[in-house]
């Protein structure tokens, strides 16, 4: 049975990449970064906060900058996914920020209204004038937004400004692979797997060098990949779609939307239907999706014949 591996779409490959939820990079990007942008604004009482108490000024600007940061990121990444053609991440980030500015005319007044209603700030003529005329607390200077994304990329290596596909390819890895030469033998034609190591092997640092036969399985974990080998495991930052594209030449199959296994590593198959699992020769178990059940059973039958 032929296994079709979908290549990543251009928009997905070029979208600004987000760190895994809950990890240190995620806390820095979505928590610390907007806080840093808010501190000078709240400290000096920028805009309508000039007449507020210090605590109210800080609260207002922390809330505004956090909403703005999260919304800009969400809009930028959504634009990259929904665009009919691939857009550079820098274009997505800029457009996402300015779309956020348009929406700020709605969430800024709502935030200020809430602070007045709960008694954090007292209603004044300046606030009344703001509700009547002014509709934006943000200046439109998006350089801090772009600078924050760039610094985050430099420190963590997670692509935000550059394309994810361009940020990881070096001149050595870009060299064309030498085609493998296979001998012609009698009997049914069975394609021989290529012995060349997949490109993403170059990202391994703990279990390197790694031979293709040492690879047991590859499983997606958010924007990361857990590489399972006969020598242990290693978590690397890589797109699962890119990994599948590079593993297509090896003798393996996709058993789930987020898991690929080496056929030679299959020890046994247990369960059936939605409870079917593949047990590898190192004892690890991976669930098989219904859509891939036939391919797994065929692989087992082929290994027995």
pLDDT (0 to 100) of residue 46: 81
Whether 21 and 255 have beta carbons less than 8 Å apart is answered as no
Is 230 in the same domain as 103?
no
- CATH number, domain containing residue 256: 2.40.50.1020
Is 86 in the same domain as 138?
yes
Residues 6+ apart with CB under 8 A from 143: none
| Tokens 């090896």 belong to residue | 250
Is 161 in the same domain as 292?
no
Is 106 in the same domain as 233?
no
Helix axes 143-156, 54-82, angle to 10 degrees: 70
Cα–Cα dist 213/264, whole Å: 8
Is 15 in the same domain as 151?
yes
| Overall average pLDDT of the 196-213 stretch | 76
Residue 176 belongs to some domain of the structure: no
Say if residue 11's pLDDT is above 70: no
pLDDT (0 to 100) of residue 172: 36
Residue 172 belongs to some domain of the structure: no
| Overall average pLDDT of the 105-120 stretch | 87
Cα–Cα dist 155/120, whole Å: 38
pLDDT (0 to 100) of residue 96: 84
Residue 140 belongs to some domain of the structure: yes
pLDDT (0 to 100) of residue 9: 44
pLDDT (0 to 100) of residue 14: 57
Is 29 in the same domain as 130?
yes
Is 226 in the same domain as 158?
no
Is 64 in the same domain as 126?
yes
Q: Sheet harboring 215-221: ordered strands across?
A: 232-237, 224-229, 215-221, 259-262, 252-256
Tell me: the pLDDT tens digits for 127-145? 777 777 655 565 556 677 7
Residue 102 belongs to some domain of the structure: yes
Scanning 44-172, the segments in alpha helix (DSSP H) are 54-82, 89-117, 125-132, 143-156, 164-167
Percent of the chain with pLDDT over 90: 3
Q: Write out the residue range of the structural domain in which residue 139 sits.
A: 10-167
Say if residue 179's pLDDT is above 50: no
Range ranked top by mean pLDDT from 55-69, 206-220, 243-257 = 55-69
Q: Which residue, of 167, 186, 212, is where some domain finishes? A: 167
Residue 182 belongs to some domain of the structure: no
Work out how many domains the chain is built from and give that number. Answer: 2
Is 52 in the same domain as 128?
yes
pLDDT (0 to 100) of residue 182: 41
Is 146 in the same domain as 212?
no
Lookup: tokens for 70: 């999260």
Burial of 292 (0-12, 13-18, 19+ CB in 10 A): buried
Lookup: tokens for 254: 């996709």
Residue 65 belongs to some domain of the structure: yes
**More confident position, 147 or 116:** 116
Say if residue 173's pLDDT is above 70: no
pLDDT (0 to 100) of residue 238: 80
Tell me: the pLDDT tens digits for 56-100? 889 988 998 899 889 889 888 888 888 777 778 888 888 888 888
Q: Sheet harboring 277-280: ordered strands across?
A: 266-270, 277-280, 285-287
Residue 73 belongs to some domain of the structure: yes
Q: Which of 48-62, 138-152, 240-254 has the lowest mean pLDDT?
A: 138-152
Closest to 269 (Cα-Cα) out of 253, 289, 288, 251: 288
CA torsion sign for 277, 280, 286, 291 is negative
Whether 226 and 256 have beta carbons less than 8 Å apart is answered as no
**More confident position, 260 or 149:** 260
pLDDT (0 to 100) of residue 304: 62
Is 237 in the same domain as 145?
no
Residue 246 belongs to some domain of the structure: yes
- Beta-ladder partners of 234: 227
Is 148 in the same domain as 105?
yes
Mean pLDDT of the chain, nearest integer: 76
pTM: 0.49
Closest to 38 (Cα-Cα) out of 118, 113, 111: 111
Say if residue 185's pLDDT is above 80: no
């Amino acid at each position: 049975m032929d296994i079709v591996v979908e290549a990543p779409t251009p928009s997905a490959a070029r979208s600004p990449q987000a760190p895994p939820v809950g990890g240190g990079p995620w806390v820095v990007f979505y928590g610390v970064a907007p806080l840093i942008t808010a501190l000078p604004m709240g400290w000096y009482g920028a805009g309508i906060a000039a007449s507020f108490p210090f605590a109210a000024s800080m609260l207002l600007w922390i809330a505004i900058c956090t909403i703005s940061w999260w919304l800009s990121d969400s809009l930028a990444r959504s634009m990259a996914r929904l665009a009919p053609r691939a857009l550079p991440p820098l274009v997505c980030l800029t457009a996402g920020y300015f779309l956020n500015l348009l929406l700020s005319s709605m969430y800024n007044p709502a935030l200020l209204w809430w602070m007045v209603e709960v008694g954090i700030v007292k209603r004044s003529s300046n606030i009344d004038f703001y509700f009547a005329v002014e509709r934006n607390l943000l200046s439109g200077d998006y350089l801090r937004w772009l600078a924050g994304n760039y610094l985050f990329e430099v420190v963590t290596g997670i692509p935000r400004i550059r394309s994810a596909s361009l940020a990881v390819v070096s001149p050595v890895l870009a060299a064309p692979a030498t085609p493998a030469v296979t001998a012609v033998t009698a009997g049914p034609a069975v394609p021989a797997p290529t012995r060349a190591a997949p490109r993403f092997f170059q990202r391994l640092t703990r279990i390197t060098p790694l031979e293709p036969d040492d690879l047991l399985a590859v499983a997606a974990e958010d924007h990361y990949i857990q590489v399972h080998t006969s020598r242990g495991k290693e978590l690397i930052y890589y797109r699962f779609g890119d990994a599948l594209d590079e593993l297509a030449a090896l003798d393996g199959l996709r058993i789930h939307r987020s898991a690929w296994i080496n056929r030679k590593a299959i020890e046994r198959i247990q369960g059936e239907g939605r409870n079917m699992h593949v047990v590898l020769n190192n004892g690890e178990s991976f669930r098989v999706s219904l859509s891939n059940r036939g391919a797994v059973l065929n692989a087992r039958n082929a290994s027995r014949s």
